[in-house]
Amino acid sequence: MSNGPATSLARRRPSIDIVDAKVAVDLATAQTYSENVFLFVPNLIGYSRIILAALSLHYMSYHPKYCTVLYCISCLLDAFDGHAARALGQASKFGAVLDMVTDRCTTTSLLCYLTSAYPDHALFFQFLIALDFSSHYMHMNSSLVTGSKSHKQVDSDVSRLLRAYYNPTTLFIVCAGNELFYISLYLMKWVHTPLSESFGITGYFGTWTWPELMAAVSAPICLYKNIVNLVQLWKASKILVGVDLAERAKAREEEFMRGKKD
């Protein structure tokens, strides 16, 4: 009795399936300076992103210039840690998770502020927070259980949309545009001078402020990003259910084989 899905699942698993938690803690404690994952350059960049994001949050309620500059630098550094990891051979699971957690927490903190700045749209921002976290959490777990080396490696036969999205160039543009939209909404609460006064622009757009124009340009990118989040959530859910079904089929096969031996 053979089972195709269970066999395929086994083929996709890495050579080392499980590492004992105590062994992992001991290895991390005893790591040498030359091979200290905590001190890898990409992870140092990650720590600096956290500090900059924290400073940005500190200024968010009363100093929009400092807040925006610090927030943007923190987001832009996200483009460098991956390059550093590949160039220095310092890619790590810790770094990948640190990067994702920093992204999620930074964006969520800004969205939390927007819920207070736009109370009539608080439910919308809460939905975006829930979607962002659930989508990436499910996707990360589905990547782990299927033995993928990175959550950014998606086969085209799983999802052509996600494979295209995780192209480094596309990922940078979409993530930058998404953050730009949220930053624009934040700045709209502070900037009220129309373009006709600040830049001498006449006509229809002259009545807009520059954050409003920036929000209008980046809104389609934000929409696309959240469509990707929905697709990612659905695909990850299907992968996890598929793993459940394959493992249940494998358990039945093993039970059947034990019954034949008896």
Cα 34 from chain centroid? 29
* Look-up of token digits 């829930």: 130
* Contacts of residue 139, Cβ cutoff 8 Å, sequence gap at least 6: 151, 232, 233, 235, 236
Q: Provide the terminal-to-terminal Cα distance of the chain, rounded to the nearest Å.
A: 16
Integer Cα distance of 229 and 128 in angstroms: 9
- Which position among 103, 132, 155, 157 bears the catalytic label? 103
262 is catalytic: no
> Active-site positions?
103
